[in-house]
Amino acid sequence: MAENRSGARKHVLFYVALLACLSISSCAGWRVEKVAPEQGAREHLAGGQKALVRHDYQTSLQELEVALSLSGNRPPGDEALFNMGMVYGDPENPRRDYPKSIASFQRLGEEYPQSTWAESARIWTQTLKEQERLKRVMFETLQENERLKRLSNETAQENQRLKQIVKRSKTVDIEVDRKKRDQGL
């Protein structure tokens, strides 16, 4: 029983000492400051932008997503969305995803229509949509070219076959003419 009192006394003394340290630290001017969500969002936004400059796309997206979630539909969420669109649309990004880039830019325009980033996002959306359209047209054109090549090859083969038929026909005509002459007709 004496051991339980001694152990309890040690815990009480530990907590008293901890409280004394905390009160001394607050008197000495040490403070634990809470970071406002907007400030935290700006810090993550800056981290995402720095990672984008380094072409560290995965880290950039992670930082920008945190910035977006901390912004709570207020700035700098608009800038985070814009930068996310840039990350997804960066041609050097091996995991670039133009549809996701377009979605980020469109979301910016819908959720932050008065943002200074909204017009740039609209322009990027149109540019990427046009690029996607041109990519589709190019793919369709390549497919059509392949079809035309096959058709051209088939036509060339058919022409060769017809030339052989014409040649045989001429040979037959010559033979018929010769036989007619030989028979005196």
Phi, psi (deg, nearest 5) at residue 162: -65, -35
18 pLDDT higher than 90 = no
Specify the pLDDT at position 1.
47
Specify the pLDDT at position 28.
44
Q: How far is CA 175 from the centre of its chain?
A: 73
Specify the pLDDT at position 33.
44
27 pLDDT higher than 80 = no
2 pLDDT higher than 70 = no
pLDDT band at 162 (very low <50, low <70, confident <90, very high): very high
> So what CATH class is 37-138?
mainly alpha
Distances (CA, A) of 57 to 51, 53, 86, 123, 125: 7, 9, 10, 22, 20
Measure the CA–CA gap between 164 and 108, rounded to whole angstroms.
Answer: 68
The set of long-range contacts for 57-65, using a CB threshold of 8 Å and a minimum separation of 24, is: 57/87, 57/90, 57/93, 57/95, 60/87, 61/87
Q: What is the mean pLDDT of the chain?
A: 86
What confidence tens digit (pLDDT) does each residue in 84-105 have? Answer: 999 999 999 999 999 999 999 9
What confidence tens digit (pLDDT) does each residue in 134-160 have? Answer: 999 999 999 999 999 999 999 999 999
Measure the CA–CA gap between 26 and 139, rounded to whole angstroms.
Answer: 68
- Pull the structure tokens for residue 122: 């609209």
pLDDT band at 180 (very low <50, low <70, confident <90, very high): confident
Domain boundaries, the chain: 37-138
C-beta atoms surrounding 109 within 10 Å: 18
Specify the pLDDT at position 182.
86
- Pull the structure tokens for residue 36: 């406002």
67 pLDDT higher than 80 = yes
